[in-house]
Amino acid sequence: MNSSIVENFSLTRGGPFHRLLVLLGRAGDERQRVINRALLATLVTWLPLLFLSLVQGLAYGPQVKIPFLRDFAANARFLVALPILILAESRIDQRWRRLVLEFLRSGLVSHTELTSFERVIEEITRLRDLVLPEVVMIVLAYAPILLGKAELLMSGTSNWHTTTAGAFTLAGWWFRIVSTPIFRFLLLRWIWRMFLWTSFLWRVSKINLFLVATHTDMAAGMGFLSEGQKAFSSIVFAGGAVIAGSVGNAIAYEGATLASQKFAMIVYGVLAIILLVVPLLAVSPALLKIKKKAMIEYGALVTKHDQLFETKWIREQHAPDEVILGSPDPSSLADLGSSYTVVRRMTLIPITKPTLITLAVAAALPMLPVVVLTTPTGELVHLVIKMLA
pLDDT at 138: 95
When pLDDT is cut at 50, 70 and 90, the band that residue 295 belongs to is confident
Q: In the predicted model, what is the mean pLDDT of residues 249-266?
A: 86
pLDDT at 384: 58
pLDDT at 63: 87
Rounded percentage of the chain residues whose pLDDT exceeds 90: 49
pLDDT greater at residue 165 or residue 265: 265
Q: In the predicted model, what is the mean pLDDT of residues 293-307?
A: 76
pLDDT at 305: 64
pLDDT at 101: 93
- Kindly report, residue by residue over 317-368, the tens digit of the pLDDT: 655 555 455 455 556 656 666 777 878 888 899 998 999 999 999 999 998 8
- Kindly report, residue by residue over 306-323, the tens digit of the pLDDT: 676 667 656 666 555 554
* pTM, full prediction: 0.86
- Kindly report, residue by residue over 216-233, the tens digit of the pLDDT: 888 999 999 998 888 889
Q: Three-state SS across the chain?
A: CCHHHHHCCCCCCCCHHHHHHHHCCCCCCCHHHHHHHHHHHHHHHCHHHHHHHHHCCCCCCCCCCECHHHCHHHHHHHHHHHHHHHHHHHHHHHHHHHHHHHHHHCCCCCHHHHHHHHHHHHHHHHHHCCCHHHHHHHHHHHHHHHCCCCCCCCCCCCECCECCCCCECHHHHHHHHHHHHHHHHHHHHHHHHHHHHHHHHHHHHHCCCCCCCCCCCCCCCCCHHHHHHHCCHHHHHHHHHHHHHHHHHHHHHCCCCHHHHHHHHHHHHHHHHHHHHHHHHHHHHHHHHHHHHHHHHHHHHHHHHHHHHHHHHHCCCCCCCCCCCCCCHHHHHHHHHHHHHHHHHCCCCCCCHHHHHHHHHHHHHHHHHHHHHHCCHHHHHHHHHHHHC
pLDDT at 177: 92
- Kindly report, residue by residue over 50-108, the tens digit of the pLDDT: 999 999 999 998 888 899 999 999 999 999 999 999 999 989 999 999 999 999 999 99
Where are the domains positioned within the chain? 1-188, 291-345
Rounded percentage of the chain residues whose pLDDT exceeds 70: 85
When pLDDT is cut at 50, 70 and 90, the band that residue 131 belongs to is very high
Mean confidence (pLDDT) of the chain: 85
